[in-house]
Amino acid sequence: MPIRSPFESSIAKPGQGTVVLSLLPPNNPTLTTLTYKYPLKLVPRAPGFVPSTDPAALSDSCPSRPIHLYLLTYGGGLLPGDHIEVSIKLEPRTRMVVTTPQGSTKIFKTEPGSANGIKLIKGHRKQMPANQHLADMSQQSLDVRIGRQAALCYLPDPSVPFKNSRYAQVQTFTVDAAAKGNERSSLCVLDWVTQGRTSRGENWNFRFWRGRNEVWATDEKTGKSRLLLRDSVILDDETEDLDDDSDEDLDEGAGESGLNSHSGRADTPPPQAGLVPLNVIQERTRPHGVVGTLILSGPVFDSLGSYLMQQFNSQPRIGSRNWSSTAPSSAPEPSLSTKGDVTWTAARVRAGFVLVKFGAKDFETAKDWLGGLLREEGSITREFGEEALFCL
Amino acid sequence: MLLDTTQSQHLQTEIAQLEARLHDMRAQLDASQYPSPPASHPDQKTAWMMPSDIYKHDNIHNKFQAGSVHSSSLHALLLLSDSALPLGSFAYSSGLESYLAHNKPLRANPITSFHHFLKLSIASIASTSLPYVLAGYREPDTLETLDNDLDASTPCIVAQRASIAQGRALIGVWERAFRMSFAGPTATDTGAEVAVTAMDDFSDLLKSCSDEDNEYDLGPKGHFAPLWGVVCRAMGLDLHQAAYIFVLNHAKAVLSAAVRASVMGPYQAQNILASQTLQDTIMKRIEREWDTEVEQAGQVVPALDLWVGRHELLYSRIFNS
């Protein structure tokens, strides 16, 4: 048995969770550690699914059964001040599927400039009063160490930031730098964010959302780390600067009617917002209602990566014409960005990573498109079972 | 009496001059000591002035002052902002060509559409690359790490190609042209020496490295942004100037691409380039990213990544990105 995790004995803090998946002989994946604390909930499940071992399968050695891990938060989302911290370790040759069976990760709104929103639930969830901006920000960090020949398939629901919410997420994946060729760790990570609750007319009306995904290669012997991939998206409505002023103004000017202004400010934009003609985030994501990234690496996802690259490269050329004289002139060229289709790009970047970026009209469109592609190619279903695509 | 007034006038101009020089040298000193952002201190706004602003008042009626040109890094500044600097920047539209192809209906009003794009493009370059310029300037000896991290953060082949081609061209210009003049014993700033060493080391590393990459042990690439920061440091520019020219050059490249893509005429392009709006936009973006660490750099315009990535799908193209 390898070294025991130093976290094992410690009691988890609120929102913290630790998981270690080991492969016990002969070929028996077992969660040797599973701790979590409110508002986080981790539910493991060992499905009866066994990856096919026919010669067509990708891996040389018999792959171990995938273990499912459901990542849940009470209420299906994150409140201001929530800090979820999940650390997962996949020991060599293990496989894990992580999903969020809640339809979406809701990011609840932040009451601007006051702790009202947090006070309501005081006593239930930990308060973080140290820094105002941090205190009313929801945060989630996921740290996964993937051993050699181990594989992670992480296809969660999109994050749905509500109006005025603030959220930051950091997902770090560490692979074994010493592993070569087919011994390498594999990962498939999806990270997507929508414009909010469209049924309530939300259209990129949150304050801040940032998603950062990093893949590091660490050599356990030398302790050296190298950044292999960093995908970082920042959606910031940039009202922060204005806000600092407006808060002061309000406090000075509206001293007596302070209560009113406080309750009113929750849903109305700050007064200065009138000066900003367009919502900055809308402008920068237009015409999409959802944007996302899919990261693929390692031998298990090789074929999927190649498939996606081939799909991307065989897309019709933009602005091409049909020069053949026999074919009737085709319908007027559809505009690719307004058709409501999915606009996407795939690239084989470095160290064998395939990075897919997409933007789509809405959640359903993106889900159908991505789910369709992954099912058509079939290697995820084959290696991890249909449930890995639960969120798609 | 008459003599007295002329004398006092003379003295006054002299004082103004000396003050201006003092100011300029302070600014240089600040730059070498990694200044804090001017954002939150309105009284420090002067740090943002180009040296020309400072000299404006007293230089008109005075005799020629060679020192004012020397002490400010004017010469280096002009070299680096020259559109004839052989970096090949003209070959890249930074996604403009693809943007136009993806937004055909907007062609009805190409100028408005272009303004929109330029704004997004500047915001994006500032959030993704500028932190690397600043870091390269502040810590030239971390060039190799910065290069690796920027390579890891570049999401598509098209943008990667553009950045590497310009970065390597910059190394070439530095080695073949600038190094002889700027890496001499005349350098007063120790930071400049570090920057020169960093350039030499990195260039050697690039040459010695074979193109065959090990799976996880990737060689140096030569991305543009961190190299720009280091070269500016080596050539004695201050940090504000380095950042400003970087973003301005980007705007110039996009505008030049717009002219060649028939979005607008050359006068219109110069009009935009000269406008206060553009200056303000650039300043605002730099100010915003001044303190951004490279770990926090990221794409603020997700749509732009898609346009740049899909440049490869264009049936016909005149630019490389």
pLDDT of residue B43: 42
**Interface residue B75 vs chain A (CB under 8 A):** no
Per-residue model confidence (pLDDT) at position B108: 66
Domain assignment present for A8: no
Which is more confident, A239 or A145? A145
Domain limits at A81?
A: 16-237+279-316+338-389
Domain span at B199: 78-313
Q: Is residue B24 part of a domain?
A: no
B127 touches chain A (CB under 8 A): yes
- Alpha helical stretches, state H, B33-94: 51-59, 66-71, 74-81
Q: Is residue B266 classed as helix, strand or coil in its secondary structure?
A: helix
Per the domain annotation, does B19 fall within a domain?
no
Is residue A326 in a domain? no
Q: Which of B298, B301, B306 is the closest to A232 by Cβ?
A: B298
Q: Which of B102, B300, B313 sits opposite A234 (nearest CB)?
A: B300
Residues of B in contact with A345 (CB under 8 A): 156, 305-306, 309-310
Whether B301 contacts A284, CB under 8 Å: yes
A22, two tokens: 């080991």
Residues A264 and A305 in one domain: no
pLDDT at A58: 46
Best residue in B306, B307, B314 for a mutation probing chain A (most A CBs within 10 Å) = B306
Interchain contact, A284 vs B105, CB within 8 Å: no
Report whether pLDDT(A115) > 50.
no
pLDDT mean over A348-374: 92
The answer to whether position A2 is within a domain reads no
Q: How many angstroms separate the CA atoms of A187 and B64, rounded?
A: 66
Which chain A residue has the Cα nearest residue B311? A318
Helix (H, G, I), strand (E, B) or coil at A55: coil
Between A341 and B167, the higher pLDDT residue: B167
Same domain, A365 and A225: yes
Residue pair A233/A211 in contact (Cβ under 8 Å)? The answer is yes
Q: In the block, which residue shows the tokens 């025991």?
A: A4
Closest partner CB to A226 (pick from B148, B156, B309): B148
What pLDDT does B46 receive? Answer: 45
Is the domain of A183 the same as that of A310?
A: yes
Question: Is residue A208 domain-shared with residue A104, that is, in the same domain?
Answer: yes
User: Each residue of A51-91: pLDDT tens digit?
Assistant: 665 544 444 456 788 999 999 888 778 888 888 999 999 99
Residue B89 lies in a domain: yes
Q: Residue A335: is its pLDDT beyond 50?
A: no
Identify the pLDDT of residue A112. 54
B69 in any annotated domain: no
Give domain status of residue A332, yes or no. no
Out of A263, A278, A293, pick the residue that ends a domain: A278
For residues A106 and A58, state if they share a domain.
yes
Backbone CA torsion sign across A238, A239, A240, A245: positive
Secondary structure class of A298 (helix, strand, coil): coil
pLDDT band at A279 (very low <50, low <70, confident <90, very high): confident
Q: Which residues of B touch A288 (CB under 8 A)?
A: 302-303
ipTM for the predicted complex: 0.80
In a domain, A247, yes or no: yes
Query: What string of DSSP letters covers B224-239?
Result: HHHHHHHHHHHTT--H
Say how many C-beta atoms besides its own lie within 10 A of residue A46's C-beta.
13
Tell me the pairing of strands A83-90 and A290-297: unpaired
Pair (A84, A148) in one structural domain: yes
Record: contact B309-A357, CB cut-off 8 A:
yes
Which residues of chain B register pLDDT less than 70?
A: 1-6, 27-62, 65-72, 105-108, 184-189, 210-215, 217
The secondary structure of B162-216 as a DSSP string is: HHHHHHHHHHHHIIIIIHHHHSSTT---HHHHHHHHHHHHHHHHHHHS-S---SS
**What are the phi and psi torsion angles at B163 (to 5°)?**
-65, -45
Q: Is B262 domain-assigned?
A: yes
Give domain status of residue B300, yes or no. yes
- Residue A324 falls inside a structural domain: no
pLDDT, greater one: A334 or B288: B288
pLDDT value for B4: 67
Same domain, A220 and A286: yes
In a domain, B101, yes or no: yes
* B252 touching A (Cβ < 8 Å): no
CA distance to partner chain B, nearest, from residue A31 (Å) = 29
Residue A282 has pLDDT above 80, yes or no: yes
CB A376 within 8 Å of CB A354: no
Question: Taking 70 as the threshold, does the pLDDT of residue A1 lie above it?
Answer: no
Task: State the total domains in chain A.
Answer: 2
Which of A220, A232, A280, A282 to mutate against chain B (most B CBs within 10 Å)? A232
* Domain harbouring B146, CATH code: 1.10.4190.10
pLDDT of residue A133: 57
Does residue A247 share a domain with residue A130?
A: no
The dihedrals phi and psi of A30, each to the nearest 5 degrees, come to -140, 140
Q: Does B302 contact A284 at a Cβ distance shorter than 8 Å?
A: yes
Count Cβ–Cβ pairs < 8 Å, chain A vs chain B.
Answer: 131
Closest of B247, B120, B226, B149 to residue A212, by C-alpha:
B149
Cβ contact B303–A359 (<8 Å): yes
Q: What's the CA gap between B191 and B227, in Å, rounded? A: 15
**β-strand A186-194 against A290-297: which pairing, if any?**
antiparallel
Q: Which of B124, B130, B313 to mutate to test the interface with A (most CBs of A within 10 A)?
A: B313
User: What percentage of chain A has pLDDT greater than the value 70?
Assistant: 72
Q: How far is CA A365 from CA A66, A359, A360, in A?
A: 29, 10, 6
pLDDT tens digits, residue range A224-266? Answer: 889 999 999 999 988 865 544 443 333 333 333 333 333 333 3
CB < 8 Å to A234, chain B: 127, 298-300
Flag if A319 and B316 touch (Cβ within 8 Å): yes
Whether pLDDT at A2 is above 70 = no
Total count of domains within chain B: 1
CA distance, residue B193 to nearest chain A CA (Å): 27
| Residues in a beta bridge with A67 | A96
Q: At what angle do helices B190-208 and B157-173 cross, to 10 degrees?
A: 120
Last residue of a domain, one of A226, A248, A278: A278
Q: What is the pLDDT of residue B31?
A: 55
Residues A125, A206, single domain; the answer is yes
Looking at the domain assignment, is residue A327 inside a domain? no
Whether residue B50 is contained in a domain is answered as no
For residues B321 and A172, the model is more confident at A172
Question: What is the value of pTM for the model shown?
Answer: 0.81
Judge contact between A172 and A116, C-beta under 8 A.
no
Residue-level length of chain A: 392
Tell whether A330 is covered by a domain.
Answer: no
**pLDDT interval class at A135 (50, 70, 90):** low
**Quick check: A232 and B153 CB within 8 A?**
yes
Q: Which of A44, A48, A88 is nearest to A68 (CA)?
A: A44
- Domain ends where: A228, A249, A278? A278
Of A320-324, A369-373, B106-110, B242-246, the one with minimum mean pLDDT is A320-324
CB nearest B315 (choices: A320, A335, A347): A320
Q: What one-letter code names the amino acid at A41?
A: K
A318–B313 C-beta distance less than 8 A: yes
Q: Coil, helix or strand for A254?
A: coil
